[in-house]
Structure 1
C-alpha cells in the first residue's frame, strides 16, 4: 500500500507539461517503488475516475519513508529526438509541417502517440529540416511562434491555429469575489517584426510599421529553417498579432474562484478559450482569452486537517483578439 500526500499536474500550451507526486510507501509497496526508473516507466494520473495526465518519468527520489517523482508529458520525448530524414516543405500549412515533425520524431520508437488536427493555421510552412540536426521539440516550438498552437492531452498531441477561439466557459467578477490585479506589459509590445530565414537564400519577411498610437517599436528574429520569403512574411504577421497592441495581464493567482463558476477542469485544455469579464478595477476587461496553462494541486491533508485541491488556469490573448493576458486560480 501507499499513501499519496501530494499530487500536482499541469497542462501547457506550446510546451511540455509536467506532473509531480509524493507518496509514503508501506509494506511491499516500498520495494516496488524502488524499481521505478526514469524514461523506462510512465506516470498516469486520474481525477474523478477519468485519466487527466500521462507521461514518462524524468526524475525520482527515494528517502526514508518518502518517494517523490517528476514526469513530463509525451512531448518530453521530442526533446530527446532529432529529425530522421531530410525534408523540404514549400507552401505546406504549419499543421502539416508539425505533424511530420511529430511523426518523424516518434517513428523509430513510438510510445503510442496520436495527432488531432483541429484546423489549418493558414500560415505557409516554407521549412527545411535535415537529418540529425536540431531537437524535434525545438523545431516544433519554433513553429508555435509563427501561427501554430500545440498541446498534449495524454498520448494525444493536439494541433490547432493560434486564432482558434472556441470557448469552454465564462468567468466574471462574481466568480472572483476576492478581487484581482490588472497590469500592462509594455516589454512585449512591437509594432514591426523582421524575420530572417535561411542565410544562403537571403530569406526575409516583415510585417507592421509605425503605429499611429504607439509609434515605431521593431523586433528582429532569425529562424534559419524558414526557406521562403512568403513563409517568413507569414511568420512576421503572426508575431505581430501577438505583440500589438500591448498585452494586458490579469493576475488572480491568490484568488479563490467560486465553486459555482461555469468552468469544468477536464475542459480546460490549452488552445481553447474562456470568456472573461471584470469591472472591479479602473481598467475594465471583457474579452475571450485563450487557455495557455493549467495547474492542479492536491494534498492529502493530516489527521486534523482535511485534504484540498486547488486549480489555477492561465489565459492570454489569442492571435485573433490580442489585448489581454491573464491568470486565474481556483481552489
Structure 2
C-alpha cells in the first residue's frame, strides 16, 4: 500500500519561463523554509527561503538576477515535481533571499481575452461550438495563447501541452458579446473562468505544470483514497450546518424593480426528509436563457443535499505520514472518503479535496494540511 510518507529533502530550481531550461538551483542545505499549496478554483502560491551564507557567493549572484515572470520556480519533494509556476516577487535581506511564485493559472490572470465569446453553435466543426464547459475553457485558453498580434511567440507560457480535462456530460451554451456579436470581452482569462464558467460547472486547479479543467465529483465517482481519523495528526471537527443545505435551488434574473419577462432555473429534489428547503440565487447577468439559469442552479445544488456534513481539520493539524494517499493523488477536486469512527457523529462520508497546504522547514520537517468539503447527491432534473 502506498502512503504519504516523509520526504528526505526538498529541492528548489529556478527555470526560465516555460519551466524547461534551468537557471539556478540553491543547494539543499541552503533551503531553510519551503511553503506551497494546491487549491480549487483559485491560484496557489509557493515560496522558498534561502540562507545566503549557506548558498555561497555564486548562487547568491544568480539569485540576484531572478526576474519576476521571466523565471519560474519549481519544487521537488525528493525526486517528485510537486509545484511549478512563475516567480512574482523576490525579497532579499542581509541574511536570506526569498523567492515567491504563483502557479501556472497566474499566466491566465495576466492575459486579457482578445477573442469573441460565442459558444452557441451546434456545428462541431465550428471552433466555438457548444460543448462541455471544460472544452469551452480549453478553447478560450488555446485561442488566446496560440499566438496573435500581442504575443512574443505562440504559447509563450507553455500551458497548452499540459491541459488535462475531465468533461461534464452536460452541453453548455455560453456567450458574452456586444451588440455586434463580435466584440471581445476585455477581461483576464481567469476572470472568465471565475465569473462565467465556474458557475456552469467548471472546476480548475494546477498540479505541477498541468492545468486541470475538471467537474465537481459526485457519489458516482471513485475515491482516490479512504482515510480514518488515525490518518490525521491533530484534532478534527465534524460540522453539520443547516445554513448550507437545500432541497431546491432557484436561480432567477428577476430584480426588485422588474419581474415581468424574466426567467428562472431550478434544480433539486422533492424531499420527504426535510420537507421544502429552498435557496434563492439572483443574478444580474444579461442575456441569460432559461437553460443558462438551469445550469447555474445545477452547479449551486451540488453539496447541498442531503444536509452537508463537513470535516474540518483545524490549523496545525495535518495528514500523518501513514495516510494511504500519495502526493500525486492530492489533486484539488478529487474524491476522498473519510471514516470518522469513535465520535458521537460517527460517519463515513465522501468528500472533495479543496486545498492542500504544505510547509517544510530545516529541522522541523514536513506538514501536509488538507481541507475537505462534502459531496452531495448528483445533480437532478432535466434542462428546460
Using structure 1 for the length normalisation, give the TM-score: 0.84
Q: Is the 8 A contact 2:46 2:101 kept in 1?
A: yes
Query: Is 1:86 paired with 2:125?
Result: no
Q: Is 1:143 equivalent to 2:191 in the alignment?
A: no
Partner of 2:382: none
Moved more, 204-213 or 291-300: 204-213
Report how far residue 279 of structure 1 moved.
2.2
Distance 1:84 1:247 in 2: 40
RMSD of Structure 2 on Structure 1 (CA): 2.7
**Cα deviation 1:77-113 (Å, max 9, x = unaligned):** 1111222211311242211211112223433442111
Matching of residue 183 in structure 1 with residue 230 in structure 2: no
Q: What CA distance in whole angstroms lies between the structure 2 residues aligned with 1:225 and 1:15?
A: 25
CA contact (8 A) 2:117 2:185 kept: no
Unaligned runs of 5+ in 1: 302-306, 323-331
C-alpha distance 250-226 of structure 1, shift in aligned 2 (>3 A): farther
1:196–1:203 Cα contact (<8 Å) kept: yes
Matched, 1:238 2:299: yes
- Residue 210 of structure 1, CA deviation: 7.8
Instruction: Give runs of aligned pairs for residues 1-331 of structure 1, distance below 5 A.
Output: 3-25=30-52, 26-90=56-120, 91-108=130-147, 109=151, 110=155, 111-113=157-159, 114-118=162-166, 120-130=167-177, 131-141=184-194, 142-163=196-217, 165-176=221-232, 178-190=234-246, 191-196=248-253, 204-208=264-268, 213=274, 215-222=276-283, 224=285, 227-253=288-314, 254-301=316-363, 307-318=364-375, 320=377
3-state SS of paired residue (1:167) = coil
Describe the SS at the equivalent of 1:112. Answer: coil
Is there any run of 5+ residues in structure 2 with no aligned partner, and where?
A: 1-25, 121-129, 178-183, 380-384
SS at match of 2:60: helix
Tell me by how many angstroms 1:226 deviates. Answer: 6.5
CA drift of 1:203 comes to 6.0
Could you tell me how far 1:239 is from its partner in structure 2? 0.7
TM-score, scaled relative to structure 2: 0.74
CA-to-aligned-CA distance 1:53-81 (integer Å, 9 cap, x gap):
10011122111111112211110111112
DSSP-derived class of the 2:76 partner: strand
CA contact (8 A) 1:162 1:319 kept: no
Q: What is the Cα deviation at residue 204 of structure 1? A: 4.1
Partner-residue secondary structure (3-state), 2:321: coil
Give the deviation of 1:270 after TM superposition.
1.4
TM-aligned CA deviation for residue 10 of structure 1: 0.9
Aligned counterparts of 1:270 and 1:217: Cα–Cα separation in 2: 29
Q: Distance in 2 between matches of 1:226 and 1:294?
A: 37
State the Cα distance separating 1:155 from its structure 2 match.
2.4
* Count of residue pairs the alignment pairs up: 314
